[in-house]
């Protein structure tokens, strides 16, 4: 009964069609789960391939706002890096909305880099995400797609993945939301135990073997939705770190930092060849005296290896769908001619009254786009409602403004229902 009730509310909220129900996941059955659309969670890619002949994929991803400065820095780092197949190296960005320069997001996308979601508000802390309802997550990520599509002039079909801030897994919520949004994969889920050998990407059709060091494990079966696991590094003191910039080095010299990176890389390269992630915040490159230098040296070292390929997260999934030895991809990642009339817009952030400068492609928004108002329309001037998403999300915005404790209480009543029997929607 309750599931039906939730379904009615959600239909009203998202104007979608209920097509099926998420079931509780069963243990993985290899006789029923096979590529390209189903894969059991496993530390082995394929038993018929010699592991040391599997190309080593390296995924470099940057989290948070993309500013003009970060853009220049990253472009500079990767401009000379070409993979052994002759294709230019591409990286991933999990973009958070605030302070992001959308003309630079457009430019990165046009150059073939991958743009992923990292939410509109980024939340205040991990508790925000721990207690976030599926409805709030739908706003944070669904409306972020609207923002990116409109202000960075990017086709929403090219947005494939999401990373929840603080790597906070709150049961099924973020995965269900990502699936509803038509995304291909999640990149929020870290593992501390399946690091040596590392866990390969897999789908959520069946129950996962992955540990949940941050938050509550999901239990739903979400057919065809991929997990790009964040395989933790181990720092010089034996601590696990999800982001490489959180790893602590004993010797803060270029050589010391380089060696820490190398040690973690070799676990993958000499092991099962599970994709190696270099997950960081661009700001780390400017911290300390040696980070940037060590990072450059490490990229150069990787690039000299004949079987190391810099790949975006969705390229990693593509490879896992069709695993092989030798050259991993049939084609270079698609690039597009830039199409962005860049404009610097003075706008007010209505929730705080702050003045902001926002760089966008095309038309300036009337106010700073935010949760509940992704198009940045000045609410008072609007004579009629523009889109159903804006209309539908109004109550949820109010909910987001509640203190964290209140959000938590709101969540308590719905968590168990939404966890097990969340109505699934098709993207329309």
Determine contact, residues 176/23, Cβ cutoff 8 Å.
no
Contacts to Zn ion from residues 22-81, by CB under 5 A: 63-64
CB nearer to Zn ion: give 41 or 143.
Answer: 143
CB of 18 to Zn ion, least distance (A): 33
Nearer to Zn ion, 14 or 167 (CB): 167
Kindly tell me which of 113 and 268 has the beta carbon lying closer to Zn ion. 113
CB 414 within 8 A of CB 6: yes
Site for Zn ion in 144-183 (CB under 5 A): 165
Rg (CA), the chain: 21
Smallest gap from Cβ 128 to Zn ion, in A, equals: 12
Number of residues that bind Zn ion (CB under 5 A): 3
**Shortest distance in whole angstroms from residue 282 CB to Zn ion:** 11
- Taking the C-alpha atoms of residue 74 and residue 257, their distance in angstroms, rounded to an integer, is 19
Please report how close the Cβ of residue 166 comes to Zn ion at its closest, in angstroms.
Answer: 7
Q: Decide whether 161 or 165 has the Cβ nearer to Zn ion.
A: 165
DSSP letters for 146-215: HHHHHHS---GGG--EE--GGG-EETTHHHHHHHHTT-SEE---EESSTBTTBPPPEEETS------SSE
Pairing of strands 215-216, 169-170: parallel
Does 186 help bind Zn ion (rule: CB under 5 A)? no
Q: Are 165 and 141 in contact (CB under 8 A)?
A: no
Tell me the three state secondary structure of residue 24: strand
Q: How far is the CB of 378 from Zn ion (least distance, A)?
A: 29
The least distance separating Zn ion from the CB of residue 139, rounded to whole angstroms, comes to 17
CB of 351 to Zn ion, least distance (A): 20
Contact (CB, 8 A) for 333 and 322? no
The number of beta carbons lying within 10 Å of the beta carbon of residue 115 is: 22
Peptide bond into 119 cis (omega under 30): no
Q: Are 228 and 313 in contact (CB under 8 A)?
A: yes
Give the nearest distance from C-beta 230 to Zn ion in angstroms: 13
* Residue 319 and residue 307 in contact, taking contact as beta carbons nearer than 8 Å: no
Nearer to Zn ion, 64 or 135 (CB): 64
Q: Which candidate, 353, 334, 29, 2, places its Cα nearest to that of 160?
A: 334
Choice between 143 and 188, CB closer to Zn ion: 188
Residue sitting closest to Zn ion (CB)? 63
Report the nearest approach of Zn ion to the CB of residue 243 (Å): 9
The three-state secondary structure class of 329 is: coil
Closer of 61 and 83 to Zn ion (Cβ): 61
Angle between helices 404-420 and 2-14 (to 10 degrees): 110
Task: With CA atoms as reference, report the closest residue to 388 among 146, 182, 109.
Answer: 146
Closer to Zn ion by Cβ: residue 63 or 235: 63
Closer to Zn ion at the Cβ: 64 or 140? 64
Q: Summarize as ranges the residues that interact with Zn ion (CB under 5 A).
A: 63-64, 165
């Amino acid at each position: 009964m309750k599931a039906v009730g939730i379904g009615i509310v959600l239909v009203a909220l998202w104007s979608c069609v209920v097509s099926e129900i998420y079931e509780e996941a069963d243990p993985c059955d290899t006789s029923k789960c096979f590529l390209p659309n189903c894969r059991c969670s496993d530390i082995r890619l394929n038993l018929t391939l010699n592991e040391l002949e599997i190309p080593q994929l390296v995924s470099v991803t940057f989290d948070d706002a993309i500013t003009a400065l970060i853009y220049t820095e990253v472009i500079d780092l990767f401009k000379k890096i070409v993979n052994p197949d002759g294709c230019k190296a591409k990286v991933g960005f999990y973009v958070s909305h605030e302070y992001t320069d959308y003309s630079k997001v457009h430019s990165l996308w046009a150059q073939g880099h991958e743009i992923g979601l990292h939410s509109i508000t980024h939340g205040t802390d991990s508790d925000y995400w721990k207690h976030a309802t599926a409805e709030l997550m739908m706003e944070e990520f669904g409306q972020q797609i609207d923002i990116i599509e409109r202000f960075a002039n990017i086709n929403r079909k090219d947005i494939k993945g999401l990373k929840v801030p603080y790597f906070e897994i709150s049961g099924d919520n973020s995965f269900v939301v990502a699936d509803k949004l038509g995304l291909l994969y999640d990149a929020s889920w870290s593992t501390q135990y399946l690091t040596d050998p590392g866990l390969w990407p897999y789908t959520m059709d069946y129950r996962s073997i992955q540990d949940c060091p941050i938050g509550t494990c999901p239990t739903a079966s979400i057919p065809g939705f991929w997990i790009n696991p964040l395989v933790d590094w181990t720092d010089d003191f034996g601590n696990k770190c999800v982001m490489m910039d959180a790893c602590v080095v004993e010797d803060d010299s270029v050589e010391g930092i380089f060696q820490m990176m190398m040690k973690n890389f070799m676990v993958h390269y000499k092991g099962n060849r599970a994709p190696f992630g270099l997950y960081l915040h661009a700001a780390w490159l400017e911290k300390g005296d040696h980070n940037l230098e060590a990072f450059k040296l490490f990229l150069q070292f990787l690039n000299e290896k004949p079987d190391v390929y810099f790949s975006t997260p969705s390229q990693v999934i593509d490879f896992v769908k069709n695993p092989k030895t030798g050259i991993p991809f049939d084609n270079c990642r698609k690039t597009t001619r830039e199409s962005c009339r860049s404009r610097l817009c003075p706008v007010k952030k209505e929730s705080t009254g702050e003045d902001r400068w926002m760089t966008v492609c095309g038309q300036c928004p009337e106010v700073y786009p935010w949760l509940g108002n992704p198009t940045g329309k000045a609410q008072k001037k609007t004579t009629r409602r523009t889109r159903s998403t804006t209309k539908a999300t109004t109550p949820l915005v109010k909910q987001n403004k509640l203190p964290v404790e209140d959000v938590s209480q709101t969540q308590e009543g719905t968590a168990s229902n939404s966890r097990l029997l969340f109505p699934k929607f098709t993207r329309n």
